[in-house]
Amino acid sequence: MNFTLSESDLLLRRTIRDFAVKELEPTARERDAKEEFSWPLYKKLGKLGVTGLGIAPERGGSGGLLQTAIAVEEIARSDASMALSLLASLSLASHGIEHHANDALRNHCLPPIARGETIASFAFTEPEAGSDAANIQTTAIKKNGKYLVNGSKTFITNGDIADTFLLFATTDRAKRHKGMLAMVVERGSKGLSSRKQTEKMGMRASSTAEVLFDDVEVPAGNLVGGEGEGFKIAMQIVDGSRPIIGAQAAGIAQGALDLAVRHVRRRKQFGQAVADFQGVQWMLADMVTQIDAARLLVYRAAFLRDQGLPCTKESAMAKLFASEAAMQVATQALQLHGGSGYFKASPIERAFRDAKVTEIYEGTSQIQRLVIARRLLAEASSHR
């Protein structure tokens, strides 16, 4: 068992850290205030090869899920919003297309995504299909060799800027998960539109939108997998994406800890640095321990996924622990900033807001606990 990253992975981490500090941090607060996604910065990530992580080399990509996790964590440490835009394009939509679509779709969609010229979106969530993932209402009815899609999606990351959508719909609402299918839909399709959703608490510089489908015609060749396989494909995709949410959460937590350490070393109270108080040191010790545990859970799940091994429970554990650690660490970091941390001028305020949603999207903490417990009980039954 080796807990040491390879030299190439360490180089990737240093490269992304340097980019995040120099390119993302200086404008993160402004973009958060304006709720503004930056295409120029995203395209710079493309030139670094980050937007192609986990995509096959023949389609312009490199690396696997572990490398995706490393990059997302380092980006989130400075700018959680950019990390979200990236991971939604990669670990949800693009990796889903890479692992489940036919060669024609892969070769058509993925090269420009890998180069950072376009961005992808995972169109799953609906007003009545969040935690109840099988309750999809968007329909895809086959007619004359094409699918006619009608319905709407909500809270879709990259929904108003994506060129490629990995869409989940149903052929028959009464069939619930058994009627679900997945397909690629491209921007510019007649009847496809989007409306940006604003005023989010956090992740404000990552674009979120409602995506609408009004008699959108989709070629049968754009089907990913077969009819009735959509739910299974979606669950396999989130097995790979939940560790990346965990990586994002670990990055937010690390960024919050960085800010807290910097503040308590500079701030003086009662004639000494705040960092010299034992109570403060205990808080810092708990925070760094939580972050390290979260990172190790993320790396284990990503490693299992890259090896093609089962990782449903491990992925849920990584997402659950890392997201809750992010919220706890951000809360403690804000506490250590005192009153100054409560104002928008302080970057810890943004980290605190960004952390919360990691406990909500891609399966709430409650859903993760259900996944973990059910897998645990199934494993126990198999060993009886």
Catalytic residue positions, numbered: 362
CA 101/CA 103 separation, integer angstroms = 7
CA 209/CA 91 separation, integer angstroms = 19
Structure tokens at 380: 């126990």
Structure tokens at 163: 């060129």
Question: What count of Cα atoms within 13 Å lies in the side-chain half-sphere of residue 168?
Answer: 32
**Angle subtended at Cα 110 by Cα 108 and Cα 114, rounded to the nearest 5 degrees:** 140
CA 348/CA 337 separation, integer angstroms = 8
Q: Give the helix ranges, DSSP H, for 79-129.
A: 80-87, 95-100, 103-114
Find tokens 């510019």 and name the residue. 188
146-157 and 139-143: which strand pairing? antiparallel
Contact yes or no for 239/311 (Cβ under 8 A):
yes
